[in-house]
Amino acid sequence: MENRIFQIGVIASLLVSIYFIVRYFVRLYLTKLNKEVGYLMQIIPPKYQQEDTNSRGYRFAVQRFMDNLTACISKFGYERASFEIHADKDSIRFIVWTSTKKIQNLIKLNLFSSYQDRVQIKELDEDFLGKFVERNTQIVEYKQKKHFIYPLMDLKDFDSVDPVQAVLSSITGLINDEKAVVQVCLKPTKIEKLIIKKAKEHFRVGKSEINWSTIYFEKFETYFAFLIPFFPIAILKMLSGIGRSNSQYDPVLLLPDSDPRKVTIEKDELSDFSNHLAEKYKTPFNSVIRVAVSNSNRSEELLDGINQAFENLKTETQNKLIKKEKGTLKELKQRFIFPVDNIFPFYNLFFTSQGVYSSRELSMLFHLPQTILNSNIEHYVVPEIPATKSVKRRDSKSDLYLGVNKSRGKESRVYLNSENRKRHLVITGQTGTGKSTILKKFVLQDIDSRLLDGVKRGLLLLDPHEDFFIDILERIPNSALNSKSLIAWDTRSEDKYFGFNPLYSVGMSERDIDLVVDSNFKLIEKTIRRSNPKNGMGATGKPMLINAMKTLMVFQNEWLRVNGHTTENMKLVSKYAPTLLDVKSIFSSEEIEQTILSFIPIDRYEDLRSFWHETLPTYKESKNWPEIKQGFDNKLSQILTGILLYTFGQSENSVNISSIIRNSKLLLVNLASQNIGEEGMSLLGSLLMSKVWFEAKRIKSDERNPFTVYADEFQNFANSDFATALSEARKFKLELILAHQFFRQLPDEVFHAVMGNVKSKIYYRCGIEDAPVIAKELQGKVLEQETVEVPEFNANVKVGEDVFSIYVSQERSKNLSNEQVEEYVNKSYENHAMSKEDVEKLINSRRNWFVEGCQSYLQPTASEQ
């Protein structure tokens, strides 16, 4: 009877074993039949790493990535993934394959989070492994030498040894059709507590180690004991196990003192070993490590190089990787992982290279390089910085469209809202990077909103290039052709000229006149210093210029006071209002000087009285007076020549700046240096900016509309007015959008005003000198090295405390032909400009009017009759 029971037990055990064997091979067969297409994506690392990630911080990012990966994959059962390095003669790429789209999306989010958005991800359609063919491919697989519970090299050793960097070095320099791939396939799994328990017991006893047989025979003993004949033994064994788990069981105590395994183990050492086991238990993956080389006559050499890199994954007391067997191309392409059966582990143990790795061990086998030492590694130069929701929303038609923000594989349009426009915008970047392109887009948006949508916002464009001016006109809407709101001030004509008189002062108070004189002098002095940097106007030239300008401006209002503010007299003084040309005349002609001064109650103006009655007579009595006078004339002649002679020679302004601002008109000014020279471009642009600033402050608060000044290469016009406007213009609804190349171009006061008072900044590629400042402005989200390598039409933006990147597409297509543009410019000449002949007549008529006593009636002077 007992024999029969025993026989039944053995047969039952065999049947159970056969069942599990058959079940495993059925699962294996079905797994191999599975032809998942999967999803591929490429992880693109940055060229430069942040300083705080160079060792410990970077190691933490690597570790966090794999730790998080464990959690996110486990959420969807036991889906598998494959982390791979692909190489050919042209490039080295980091690839992730996932079995489902959900896992791919989770890995994306995990990557962005772990690397703080300093990675880029590109989804792929073509599988690189499809290029491998059987006859030219050699594949090897790796396995842990010891039981998988014993860890490979710890992450703390990452400072001295980086296996991935070594792998990259070994697959660099492939030639012709050579290809290589390193593949780490993984799938979440679980580790039995029995394994942890046995590992600790063996370590406690002489630091011995377990192997697969230790665990299997422990299991076999348990399973066998539960057969019917041995059931009482099984119960006793189970109770014994419970007793041991609830006591302070120490296997060392069972050993005799003479046993060499009875050694003392330090508490910290035991704790460290236990922590390793706990980590392995917490984040385990079933994994297969494959390496393949194709189309190479030096396959063994390449494989040996990779093998040497994996050899670094060891210490004297820990596990290591060894080449186990040659793999198959089908399994490589399929990213195959063998099914695991804890009851029937033989096949995996003896016939596969599959092992169990913790997330930290896997992070040593696959991570982005800490530094890009090889240009073959596909990388990006400048990070894609995500924009906040606040800049992705357009609240009004006055919001400026900046460009496209690319981040995490998505694209969003971003805007500069009306509130942020009030705090100005400065664009910085080298020539050819895209500054003018984005500035044109802004100008055209404001033109469209004014002419098509009726938005009450005017603008002034100061263009030192001419091409900018023409490009804008070619793209304006058709409605602009008949609009009185858009004025094109062109300086290309050699026959007709717009007029601008910075000394026109009818209706100004003495305080306003003093402000204008001071501003005009600074701008003229700055222009003169371009050719005479040491002296400028000189010690005598400065009081002569200041007092002459003030005298000519005071004269206009005093003449009206004497002769009456009638309509006829207003027209007359406007027609013959003194200009910068008359500054020279007042010192050249006694008649003109006496006529002008005769209308001014000189005792009411102490500064003028002092100059004309005390300072100037002293100059004239000096034997150097001819040289002083000649030097003064020569310096003024630098700015009163060519086109500027005919521009500053006109008494009336061709365009009323005050009306432009009040009525939200659009004024485009071509200041190209090839037309008016560098000095002329700088002076005229600066005077126009000064005039806008002056007139904006005079408008009552309830009558103000937003007005924007656009200035490309604004360093040519940068002066104290710019610095003041940047800090105060907001309350006058004056907004500045400025572009320049580098900080050293700006005067100190303007630079500090830009840094302190401008809320929004756009940075294109910059020079090395500006990189530290810009990197700091961008809050470290873009590194110094990256600021000097920003690709064309890409930029980094700071709006308040928000920092993000943008891509600016090419400018919009032309709307008007060249003929239509020229026709429109000629129309502007007809409406606002004066011919060369008429300007020359006006200059002579005005001089004669002064000489003949400034008569108060509109009749031809003797010279005109």
Residue 355 has pLDDT above 60, yes or no: yes
Half-sphere exposure of 92 toward its Cβ, with a 13 Å CA cutoff?
Answer: 23
Q: Which segment, 160-174, 176-190, 224-238, 500-514, is predicted with the most confidence on average?
A: 500-514
Write the single-letter amino acid at 532. Answer: N
DSSP type of residue 257: T
Residue 447 has pLDDT above 70, yes or no: yes
pLDDT at 291: 93
**Sorting pLDDT into bands at 50, 70 and 90, what band is 599?**
very high
Tokens at 423, concatenated:
């705090």
Beta strands 707-711 and 410-416: pairing type?
Answer: unpaired
Q: Which residues contact 206 (CB under 8 A, 6 or more apart)?
A: 260, 261, 262, 263
pLDDT at 257: 45
Residue 292 has pLDDT above 50, yes or no: yes
Average pLDDT in the 504-521 region? 94
Residue with tokens 């046995």: 198
Average pLDDT in the 506-530 region? 92
Higher-scoring residue by pLDDT: 646, 194: 646
Helix intervals (H) in 42-129: 56-74, 101-114
Is residue 848 within 8 Å of residue 861, measured between CB atoms?
yes
Tokens at 520, concatenated:
């005009």
Residue 225 has pLDDT above 70, yes or no: no
Predicted confidence (pLDDT) per residue in 69-96, tens digit:
666 665 555 578 899 999 999 999 999 9
Is residue 758 within 8 Å of residue 424, measured between CB atoms?
yes
Cα-to-chain-centroid distance, residue 717: 27
Hey, where are the domains in the chain? 1-32, 35-380, 394-498+654-832, 507-653+838-865
The H or E element spanning position 798 is: strand 794-799
**Sorting pLDDT into bands at 50, 70 and 90, what band is 529?**
confident
Higher-scoring residue by pLDDT: 239, 401: 401
Residue 420 has pLDDT above 90, yes or no: yes
pLDDT at 853: 80
Write the single-letter amino acid at 713. Answer: E
Residue 752 has pLDDT above 60, yes or no: yes
**Measured on CA atoms in the order 651, 652, 654, 655, is the torsion positive or negative?**
positive
Tokens at 69, concatenated:
């990966």
- DSSP per-residue letters across 407-425: ETTEEEEEEE-HHHHTT-E
**Sorting pLDDT into bands at 50, 70 and 90, what band is 322?**
confident
**Sorting pLDDT into bands at 50, 70 and 90, what band is 772?**
very high
Residue 234 has pLDDT above 70, yes or no: no
Higher-scoring residue by pLDDT: 821, 283: 821
Is residue 608 within 8 Å of residue 554, measured between CB atoms?
yes
Helix intervals (H) in 34-84: 56-74
Tokens at 227, concatenated:
């057969």
Is residue 443 within 8 Å of residue 710, measured between CB atoms?
yes
Residue 227 has pLDDT above 50, yes or no: no
Predicted confidence (pLDDT) per residue in 299-309, tens digit:
888 888 888 88
Residue 205 has pLDDT above 90, yes or no: no
Higher-scoring residue by pLDDT: 34, 594: 594
Tokens at 510, concatenated:
């003495």
pLDDT at 317: 57
Residue 55 has pLDDT above 80, yes or no: no
Residue 160 has pLDDT above 80, yes or no: no
- Give the Cβ contact number of residue 486 at 10 Å: 23
Q: Which residues contact 229 (CB under 8 A, 6 or more apart)?
A: 2, 5, 6, 9
Tokens at 172, concatenated:
């660099």
Higher-scoring residue by pLDDT: 862, 495: 495
Residue 269 has pLDDT above 90, yes or no: no
Residue 762 has pLDDT above 70, yes or no: yes
Tokens at 286, concatenated:
């079933």
Average pLDDT in the 550-579 region? 92
Is residue 554 within 8 Å of residue 597, measured between CB atoms?
no
Helix intervals (H) in 323-373: 329-334, 346-351, 359-365
Distance CA 189, CA 178 (A): 35
Sheet holding 802-807, edge to edge: 410-416, 400-407, 802-807, 794-799, 760-763, 425-428, 734-740, 707-711, 458-463, 666-670, 486-489
Predicted confidence (pLDDT) per residue in 357-397, tens digit:
888 888 888 888 877 877 889 998 888 999 999 999 998 88
Task: Tell me the CATH class for 394-498+654-832.
Answer: alpha beta
3-state class of 229 per DSSP? helix
DSSP-assigned beta bridge partners for residue 43: 94, 121
pLDDT at 765: 95
Higher-scoring residue by pLDDT: 153, 754: 754
The proportion of the chain whose per-residue pLDDT surpasses 90, expressed as a percent, equals: 45
Tokens at 130, concatenated:
């499809």
**Sorting pLDDT into bands at 50, 70 and 90, what band is 12?**
low
Residue 438 has pLDDT above 60, yes or no: yes
pLDDT at 335: 87
Closest CA to 718 of 522, 558, 586: 522
Average pLDDT in the 753-780 region? 92
| Average pLDDT taken over every residue of the chain | 83
DSSP type of residue 703: G
Higher-scoring residue by pLDDT: 243, 749: 749
Distance CA 502, CA 553 (A): 10
Is residue 84 within 8 Å of residue 372, measured between CB atoms?
no
With b for 16 or more beta-carbon neighbours within 10 A and e for fewer, the 537-567 pattern comes to: bbebbebbbbbbbbbbbbbbbbbbeebeeee
Of 27-31, 162-166, 263-267, 511-515, the range with the lowest mean pLDDT is 27-31
Cα end-to-end span (Å), the chain: 152
Q: Which residues contact 36 (CB under 8 A, 6 or more apart)?
A: 99, 334
Half-sphere exposure of 762 toward its Cβ, with a 13 Å CA cutoff?
Answer: 31
Higher-scoring residue by pLDDT: 530, 578: 578
**Sorting pLDDT into bands at 50, 70 and 90, what band is 282?**
confident
pTM value is 0.82
C-alpha separations of 451 from 432, 666, 692 in Å: 30, 10, 21
Predicted confidence (pLDDT) per residue in 93-145, tens digit:
999 999 888 888 888 888 888 788 888 999 998 999 988 888 888 999 888 88
pLDDT at 865: 40
364 phi, psi to nearest 5 deg: -75, -25
Write the single-letter amino acid at 16. Answer: V
C-alpha separations of 263 from 252, 277, 328 in Å: 8, 21, 46
Distance CA 239, CA 179 (A): 59
The proportion of the chain whose per-residue pLDDT surpasses 70, expressed as a percent, equals: 82
Average pLDDT in the 263-279 region? 71
Tokens at 589, concatenated:
């002609």
